[in-house]
Amino acid sequence: MRNLSISTPLPLKKVTIQDDFWSPYISLIRDVVVPYQWDALNDRVEESEPSHAIQNFKIAAGLETGEFHGMVFQDSDVAKWLEAVGYLLTLSPDSELEKIADEVIDIIAKAQHTDGYLNTYFTLKEPTGRWTNLAECHELYCSGHLIEAAVAYYNATGKGKILDVACRLADCIDEAFGAEAGKIKGYDGHQEIELALIKLYQITDNDRYLRLAKFFLDERGQRPHFYDLEYAKRNGKTHFPSLSMAKDKSYSQSHLPIRMQKTAEGHAVRVVYMCAGMADVAAETNDEQLLAACLSLWRNIVSKRMYITGAIGSMAYGEAFSLDYDLPSDTAYAETCASIGLIFFARRMLQIAAKSEYADVLERALYNTVIAGMSQDGKHFFYVNPLEVWPDASGKNRNFDHVKHQRQRWFGCACCPPNISRLLASLGSYIYSVKEETLYTHLYIGSQIELELNDQKVQVIQHSELPWEGNVRFQFNMEQSLRFTFALRLPSWCDTPEIHINDTSYSIHEASLIDGYIYIDRRWNPKDLVHLVLPMQINHMKGNPLIRETAGKVALQRGPLVYCLEEVDNGNHLHQLMISPNETGHSLFHPELLGGMQMIEMPAFRMRGDYWGDQLYQADVQDQLEQTTAHFIPYFAWANRSVGEMQVWIREQKFQPEEVQV
């Protein structure tokens, strides 16, 4: 049944990241974030409200007494932590970490009911409420994360215990849900189970899980509406009264059957998790219609509803999409998890069709919003990633209540931090994929891989200077020469890529350039070198003229990185700064800046305000400008020094020399 035409990611265990930019992140996940999250899950982080997540499992397992505490989806925090641990153990053994994980798995297994059901909230708090409030209560969402964790941990260790828990849980779900008489024709309010079941199917080859994933997707949004039926059945009992999850169908993308959805509506994380599951099922079942639905939603998101940082979700209300071209910088929601979900979706689309546009979006979200979500110490996180902040307005203009100017230690709803962990710990599996005799390179991240092509072992060593410089070198190590196709992605941010093979320039023929990938089909010899040069100019990015927020403004991008202004480098009142369209500026590496990064300096103008005094409005007054230099740092690095204003989009204005006071 599986569609063999997709390209398959190289498994994480075949990839070792060795990269000046990314290796420190992965070390940070291993050495700081995952241990810190373990402390958080065990209520040992003093500055934060206790998570209770491990405690809940222990109580459900009968190992301790007490009550459930936390959000209805608290279990998922443990699962996401365990999934990250699985990836870390795949990267390198760690007997101490594995021991902790095994102990957690023992507790989880004990908390599982004999029929396979597993959810500490319902076990402890609503034992008779199982499957009665799918719209709000995240049972299948939590199950999905448990399954993802199980697959990751099994892949890492080969230990079957947690995979067995996951299969029994999935079987229990399959007994309860389905089109057959007596089963519930429902689906979870928060999509996640769908993509998890595909992972379980892929590792077990059990068709049942694939069918169940497809059932959940296709049942979504059908009439009569399941959420209305279950709402009536439970007499209108509501878990989150403030959110109207059961009533507002678009919040959970159940306003229409998924194949009829053309625009991304509602809670942004749910949309992209759903799309990832749709793409999986489309690929696994050769479902062209479902793939077309994925393409519609993809097109809507990336061409009308995505921030330049790869963030999605334009408003705090419902953590949701709003409407086409509505991309306010300062009230953005732009949740870290939503960009992570967009990466999941992009990766699956990229497997189905190797088009650089998918990798461009994946890269945009990864290098900008995702890593902005975490501080450089690995202990502070952004849930919301605005493109402009004005700290003075905090607590005063309540439209910004959701916006923080500093990363927070942990959250009551702690979805984002463990999501960053599991993504970065598994980053190796995003770099390459293989389809028949073609090796695709999607991301330029220094790494070493081992794979078999045409039954011969090949090692590829990648050296990358990204994101600071566009030099990437590949070396092939193998026993003897071998013919295969090496497909290299040409990122959209570079207009003038060059390729050299063994120091000989390789002409980028149109014929070998398909959808943004160069296909180099030749017989490769041991020690062959490929040098990809991606010159990085400073790009003045503009927004589509239908975006109200970006009219008359530009954002600077260099390579994959979007840049921003910070108050610490530029003084306050950042909105008074303007740059001229003709300025190229220059970029310089500052080794002392936040561990070393390229800063952009750009001649700029500042509106003077001192001559205005008490006037609020004046007629026919000439702006007074002074010349200055604007300093930009990569967006992902903002808010690592001090609290202050930040701004991605800057006004672009032409000036006559006589206007400017030097």
Sites of contact with a copy of itself (CB under 8 A): 299, 302-304, 306, 308, 314-318, 322-323, 326, 328, 331, 390, 392-393, 396-399, 493, 495, 539-548, 551-552, 555, 557, 573, 575-576, 578, 607-609, 612, 614-621, 623, 651, 653-656
In sequence order, which residues have a C-beta less than 8 Å from that of residue 577 and are 6 or more positions away? 565, 570, 604, 605, 606, 628, 630, 650, 651
For residue 351, how many C-alpha atoms fall within 13 Å in the half-sphere facing its CB? 24
Other beta carbons less than 10 A from residue 618's beta carbon = 8
By beta-carbon proximity to a copy of itself, the closer residue of 523 and 654 is 654
By beta-carbon proximity to a copy of itself, the closer residue of 96 and 620 is 620
Q: Whole-number minimum distance, CB 351 to a copy of itself, in Å?
A: 22
Q: How far apart are CA 367 and CA 375, in angstroms?
A: 14
Burial class (CB in 10 A: 0-12, 13-18, 19+), 579: buried
User: Which residues are registered as beta bridge partners of 628?
Assistant: 604
Strand 597-607 versus strand 625-634 pairing type = antiparallel
Structural contact between residues 85 and 37, judged by C-beta atoms closer than 8 angstroms? no
By beta-carbon proximity to a copy of itself, the closer residue of 480 and 615 is 615
Longest dimension (CA), the chain: 82
Three-state secondary structure call for residue 350: helix
By beta-carbon proximity to a copy of itself, the closer residue of 151 and 320 is 320
How far does Cα 22 stand from its chain's mean position? Answer: 15
What is the rounded end-to-end Cα distance, in angstroms, of the chain? 70
Q: Whole-number minimum distance, CB 74 to a copy of itself, in Å?
A: 27
The closest alpha carbon to 465, from 16, 20, 17, 15, belongs to 20
Structural contact between residues 639 and 406, judged by C-beta atoms closer than 8 angstroms? yes
Radius of gyration of the chain (CA): 25
Q: How far apart are CA 285 and CA 280, in angstroms?
A: 9
Which ranges in 397-532 belong to alpha helices (H)? 416-425
Q: Whole-number minimum distance, CB 370 to a copy of itself, in Å?
A: 18
How far does Cα 586 stand from its chain's mean position? Answer: 30
DSSP assignment of 471-484: EEEEEEEESS-EEE
Q: Whole-number minimum distance, CB 228 to a copy of itself, in Å?
A: 21
How far does Cα 584 stand from its chain's mean position? Answer: 31
Cis peptide before 657 (omega within 30 of 0): no
By beta-carbon proximity to a copy of itself, the closer residue of 61 and 541 is 541
Q: Whole-number minimum distance, CB 655 to a copy of itself, in Å?
A: 8
Q: Whole-number minimum distance, CB 434 to a copy of itself, in Å?
A: 30
Q: Whole-number minimum distance, CB 361 to a copy of itself, in Å?
A: 10
Three-state secondary structure call for residue 571: coil
Q: Whole-number minimum distance, CB 402 to a copy of itself, in Å?
A: 11
By beta-carbon proximity to a copy of itself, the closer residue of 240 and 655 is 655
Whole-angstrom CA distances from 201 to 212, 242, 530 are 10, 37, 37
| Active-site annotation holder among 319, 335, 363, 388 | 319
By beta-carbon proximity to a copy of itself, the closer residue of 301 and 597 is 301
Q: Whole-number minimum distance, CB 553 to a copy of itself, in Å?
A: 9
DSSP assignment of 76-115: HHHHHHHHHHHHHHHHS--HHHHHHHHHHHHHHHHHS-TT
Q: Whole-number minimum distance, CB 519 to a copy of itself, in Å?
A: 25
| 319 catalytic per annotation | yes
User: Which residues are registered as beta bridge partners of 532?
Assistant: 472, 499
| 137 catalytic per annotation | no
Structural contact between residues 640 and 597, judged by C-beta atoms closer than 8 angstroms? no
By beta-carbon proximity to a copy of itself, the closer residue of 167 and 312 is 312
Whole-angstrom CA distances from 374 to 178, 383, 384, 385, 640 are 40, 9, 11, 10, 10
By beta-carbon proximity to a copy of itself, the closer residue of 433 and 647 is 647
Q: Whole-number minimum distance, CB 213 to a copy of itself, in Å?
A: 30
Q: What is the dihedral of CA 609, 610, 614, 619, to 10 degrees?
A: -50
By beta-carbon proximity to a copy of itself, the closer residue of 393 and 643 is 393
Q: How far apart are CA 386 and CA 307, in angstroms?
A: 10
| Active-site annotation holder among 142, 275, 415, 564 | 415
Q: How far apart are CA 279 and CA 281, in angstroms?
A: 6
Q: Whole-number minimum distance, CB 652 to a copy of itself, in Å?
A: 9
By beta-carbon proximity to a copy of itself, the closer residue of 471 and 624 is 624
529 token code pair: 């070198």
Cis peptide before 224 (omega within 30 of 0): yes
By beta-carbon proximity to a copy of itself, the closer residue of 132 and 394 is 394
Strand order in the sheet with 456-464: 15-17, 447-453, 456-464, 471-478, 529-533, 498-501, 504-506
- Supply the residues annotated as catalytic: 319, 415
